[in-house]
Amino acid sequence: MPTHSILSRLVWQQMLRKTIQSLFQHPEKAQVLMCVTGKSGSGKSTLGRQIRKKGLPGISPRHIAVIDDGVLAVPMLFFFTRRIKSKTRERDDLAPFLPYLRKKKLVVYVNSKPELRLARCDVVLRLQLPEEERQRRLIQRDHDGDERFRRTLNASAEVGIPADHVFDLCLVAAHDRDPQPAAAQPAFTALSWVVNAGPLLANWGTWAADCC
């Protein structure tokens, strides 16, 4: 059975770093495969792009490859990026990309259904988002965003790929449903994936329930 944890938005990068480092403790482990998954509009591509550009604590961008929607971005000559495209509905374990992945420590595969292409992975990072926020994002992003939201409203968010570690992460907090008393903990506000300094939650269980 995989380990299953809920990550705080304040420390999620550090927790991923510790998990990835623990995987590298195995002598035969030279590369970690992480899947970023979640419903349409949950922020998968945004997070993948930021990991590709900024890296993770202890892992520089040059040691990371990100494949999003069947496209691998390969930096070239400092300012240019070559895009290697290979989309398929068959399971190939990313075979067309392997020549570009050999020297990478971390391979990130961004897809809502990674099990269609991969037999397994080391880490799954499942992004969670309040449905009203996901709807707003899809409408803002796509001309058919409201239709896409309705189509995926009841879609399963279950992780369908075997993995050693599964993490749930909500980087945009839910808006409170009920008015909060003056002395209550301030509610989170919407923010990008980049971790900003902010008040810590006094009750982790309450945050997890509201957020994810």
Which amino acid makes up residue 69?
D
The answer to whether residue 201 is domain-embedded is: no
Q: How far apart are CA 128 and CA 56, in angstroms?
A: 20
Domain count, the chain: 1
Q: What local confidence, expressed as pLDDT, does residue 3 receive? A: 85
The answer to whether residue 50 is domain-embedded is: yes
The answer to whether residue 200 is domain-embedded is: no
* Residue 170, domain extent: 3-20+30-195+206-211
DSSP H helical ranges for 6-93: 12-23, 44-54
Q: What local confidence, expressed as pLDDT, does residue 41 receive? A: 85
The answer to whether residue 99 is domain-embedded is: yes
pLDDT along the chain (212 residues), means of 10: 85 94 93 95 92 94 96 85 93 97 97 96 94 88 83 82 95 48 36 38 42 45
Q: What is the pTM of this model?
A: 0.77
Instruction: Give me the torsion for CA of 124, 25, 17, 72, rounded to 10°.
Output: -60
CATH number of the structural domain spanning residue 168: 3.40.50
